[in-house]
Structure 1
C-alpha cells in the first residue's frame, strides 16, 4: 500500500513507519516537529529512518537514504492547502493519523494547542480523505476519553461522554467527526483508543522516561494519587502490531447495528472504534519496581495527590479487536520496561555506577 503516516517523527509514528517500510509498503511521513518536547529526539528518530532534517527543510519533501520507499515532509495539519496538495500528489491508499498535541496535563495550561492540532488538523485530514478517495483512515484516539466512566474494564461499545481533560475531549471529538464523514461520504474510518504506550524512543514527558531519569540521577520521582494508580501499560511493539492489522481491515458497516439501541463502537456507516491496550492493568508501584529492578537502584518517592485531568485506573477490553483482526498483546511489563531502559542507557549515554 501507499500510506501517509502523520506524526511520523513521534514515538508511535516512528515505530509504525519503520514497521510498514520493513513490510514493503510505500510510506510518506509527515510531522510538524513542534517543540512540545525536545525536537532533537524527533530528529534522531527520523535519522533512524534515513532522514536528515534541518530548519531549511521545512515544507520540502525529503527522500530517505535508508529506504527508497520512504519520503518525509515537515508540515502542520492545520496548513490546509499544502496538505491538500500532498494528497493530490501521492494518491494514498490509506492514512494513519497519529499527529496530535499530546498530554493530559499540558492541556490544562495550553488549551488552544489542542483545538488547533487535534480539531482543526483532524478536520483537514477528513476533508483530504473525502476529496482524494482514501480507502481507509486509521486515527489515534485515547483511553482518556473514558473520563469519569468507572465501569471496568473499559469497553468501546459503551458511552464515553464524560471526559475530564481537553485532550480527552479533543479525541472524543475526533471520533464523532470521523463518524460524520463515514456516514455522509462512506469513508472507512477506524479509531484506536491507545492505552498508556511505552517503549524505546518514548517521549521524555511520559512517566517511564521521567522515572528512569530521576532514579539514575538519584532524584525523587513524583508518584501521583499516592501510588494508588493502575494503568494498562502497553508496549509499543504490541501497539504497532495492532495498528498494522487494523490498517489491512478497513471498517465496514455493522449489519446488526440497531439505531434504537445504538452501540458506540460501530455504526450503519463504515466506522469502527477499538481499544488497543495490554488488557492487564498494572499498579503504578509495580511499574516503578520493574524500573528499579532493571536499574538495580531504588527510587526516592514523592507521594502526591491525584492530578487534575488524571483518572485512577485504566483497563482495556480488547475483545472486539481480538475477534476482528486477531490482536493479542504479548509483551509483559517487566520485558517492555527492560527494552526501554536498555535503549535509554544507550541513547543518553548513561553509565550506571
Structure 2
C-alpha cells in the first residue's frame, strides 16, 4: 500500500512513518523541512520505501500531487500552541491546522482516496480532564485555547467529508512522549518527559515536582493505533480517544534511564515547587486520564503501561545515544 503522512517530520509523523515502513508499506512523507538524519537512516533500513516530499500543507498544488495514487492519508501536520499562543501568529496557526485540512480533504475526495485519518487532540476537551469525571468521546468539547479550537474546527471538516462519502476517522490524542520527540519549532512546550531526558542525558540535574502526573502515552502506541485506523476494513466508530489510561510523573522515566545510563538527577523539589520542567497547565490541579476504552474494545488494542512505556523510551534513548539525541 501507499500512504501519505503530512507533518512527517514531527513527533507523531516520524513514529507513524517508521511504523508503516516496518510493515512494508510505501510512505510519502510530506513535510515543510528536512527530516532528521537519524530518522532517515533508520527508515532506509526498514522493509518499506519512503518518498520525501518537501512542501507546505497550505499549497494546494503540492497537496494535489501528493495525494495521487495513495490509498490512505494521515494528516498529522499541525502547529501545537500552548496557553500563551506565542509560537506563531494566530492566522498562521489557523491556516496550518485548519485551512490545510480543508484543502487536503478536497484533494483526497477528488483523488478517490480510500481512508482519511485525522489526528486530533484532547485539547478539544479543554479543562474537562481536571474535573474528576471520565472523559469519553461523548463528552462535549470545550476547548480553552486557539489550538483546541483549530483542532475542533478541523474535526468538523473531517466529519462533513464523511457525510459526503469519504471514509474518515478522528483520533483525539492525549499527552505524548517517546521516541523521535524533538524541537521542531511548531510545538510551544515539549513534553516534560522529553525535558527530563534532555537534561539527564546532558548530565544536568533535574528537580521534579511531586505533582504534575499526566497520562503521557507512548508515541509508538499512538503510531500503531493510527496505522490500525488507516488500514482497518471497518471502522465501528468515527471518533476515538487515544491514551494509555494512567497518569504518571517524569521521575518514572528518570528511574528507567538511571538503570541504563549514568546520569545526574534529583527529585528533591519541595511539595509546592514546580521543579525544572515546563508544563502547559497548573500543577496544583489533578488530571484524570482520557478514556480510550472505545478504541481498546473495538480493536482489541493494549497500550503500554507507564512502566513499559518509560522503559521502552529509555531503551530507545540508550540505543540512539546522547550525541544523536542532542542533534535531533
Q: TM-score, normalised by structure 2?
A: 0.81
Query: Against the structure 1 CA distance between its residues 274 and 66, is the aligned structure 2 distance closer, same or farther, given a 3 Å change threshold?
Result: closer
Query: Against the structure 1 CA distance between its residues 348 and 218, is the aligned structure 2 distance closer, same or farther, given a 3 Å change threshold?
Result: closer
Query: Against the structure 1 CA distance between its residues 222 and 82, is the aligned structure 2 distance closer, same or farther, given a 3 Å change threshold?
Result: farther
Question: What residue number does 2:152 align with?
Answer: 172
Please state whether the residue corresponding to 1:164 is helix, strand or coil.
coil
Cα shift readout 1:20-41 (whole Å, capped 9, x = no counterpart)? 12323222111112xxxxx6x7
How far has the Cα of 1:187 moved from its partner?
1.2
Question: What residue number does 2:194 align with?
Answer: 209
How far has the Cα of 1:178 moved from its partner?
1.0
Query: Against the structure 1 CA distance between its residues 211 and 66, is the aligned structure 2 distance closer, same or farther, given a 3 Å change threshold?
Result: closer
* Among 301, 304, 308, the residue aligned to 2:274: 304
User: Equivalents in 1 of 2:201, 2:41: separation in Å?
Assistant: 26
How far has the Cα of 1:304 moved from its partner?
3.4
User: Equivalents in 2 of 1:230, 1:8: separation in Å?
Assistant: 29
Residues 188 and 250 of structure 1 are in contact (CA less than 8 Å); yes or no, is this contact kept in structure 2? no
Query: Against the structure 1 CA distance between its residues 159 and 344, is the aligned structure 2 distance closer, same or farther, given a 3 Å change threshold?
Result: same
How far has the Cα of 1:291 moved from its partner?
5.0
Question: What residue number does 1:263 align with?
Answer: none
Q: Which structure 1 residue ranges, 5 or more long, are not aligned?
A: 34-38, 51-64, 255-265, 267-271
User: Equivalents in 1 of 2:249, 2:323: separation in Å?
Assistant: 29
User: Equivalents in 1 of 2:84, 2:193: separation in Å?
Assistant: 17
Question: What residue number does 2:6 align with?
Answer: 6
User: Equivalents in 2 of 1:14, 1:285: separation in Å?
Assistant: 25
Cα shift readout 1:225-246 (whole Å, capped 9, x = no counterpart)? x543231111222212211221
Question: What residue number does 2:187 align with?
Answer: none
Q: Which structure 2 residue ranges, 5 or more long, are not aligned?
A: 184-189
User: Equivalents in 2 of 1:66, 1:217: separation in Å?
Assistant: 30
Question: What residue number does 1:101 align with?
Answer: 79
Does 2:119 correspond to 1:148?
no
Residues 123 and 143 of structure 2 are in contact (CA less than 8 Å); yes or no, is this contact kept in structure 1? yes
User: Equivalents in 1 of 2:48, 2:299: separation in Å?
Assistant: 29
Question: What residue number does 2:43 align with?
Answer: 49
Structural mapping, 1:254-269, within 5 Å: none
* Among 275, 278, 281, the residue aligned to 2:244: 278
Query: Against the structure 1 CA distance between its residues 274 and 82, is the aligned structure 2 distance closer, same or farther, given a 3 Å change threshold?
Result: same
Query: Against the structure 1 CA distance between its residues 180 and 126, is the aligned structure 2 distance closer, same or farther, given a 3 Å change threshold?
Result: same
Query: Against the structure 1 CA distance between its residues 280 and 339, is the aligned structure 2 distance closer, same or farther, given a 3 Å change threshold?
Result: same
Please state whether the residue corresponding to 1:327 is helix, strand or coil.
coil
CA root-mean-square deviation: 3.0
Structural mapping, 1:123-142, within 5 Å: 123-142=102-121
Question: What residue number does 2:60 align with?
Answer: 80
User: Equivalents in 1 of 2:279, 2:91: separation in Å?
Assistant: 18
Residues 192 and 250 of structure 2 are in contact (CA less than 8 Å); yes or no, is this contact kept in structure 1? no
Residues 30 and 54 of structure 2 are in contact (CA less than 8 Å); yes or no, is this contact kept in structure 1? yes
Aligned length: 306
Question: What residue number does 1:56 align with?
Answer: none
How far has the Cα of 1:155 moved from its partner?
0.4
Does 2:218 correspond to 1:240?
no
User: Equivalents in 2 of 1:159, 1:178: separation in Å?
Assistant: 17
Please state whether the residue corresponding to 1:208 is helix, strand or coil.
helix
Query: Against the structure 1 CA distance between its residues 28 and 113, is the aligned structure 2 distance closer, same or farther, given a 3 Å change threshold?
Result: same
Cα shift readout 1:287-329 (whole Å, capped 9, x = no counterpart)? 5555556555433648339989536424121121122222221
Cα shift readout 1:92-134 (whole Å, capped 9, x = no counterpart)? 1111111111242573442333212101211211111222122
Does 2:294 correspond to 1:316?
no
Query: Against the structure 1 CA distance between its residues 298 and 347, is the aligned structure 2 distance closer, same or farther, given a 3 Å change threshold?
Result: closer
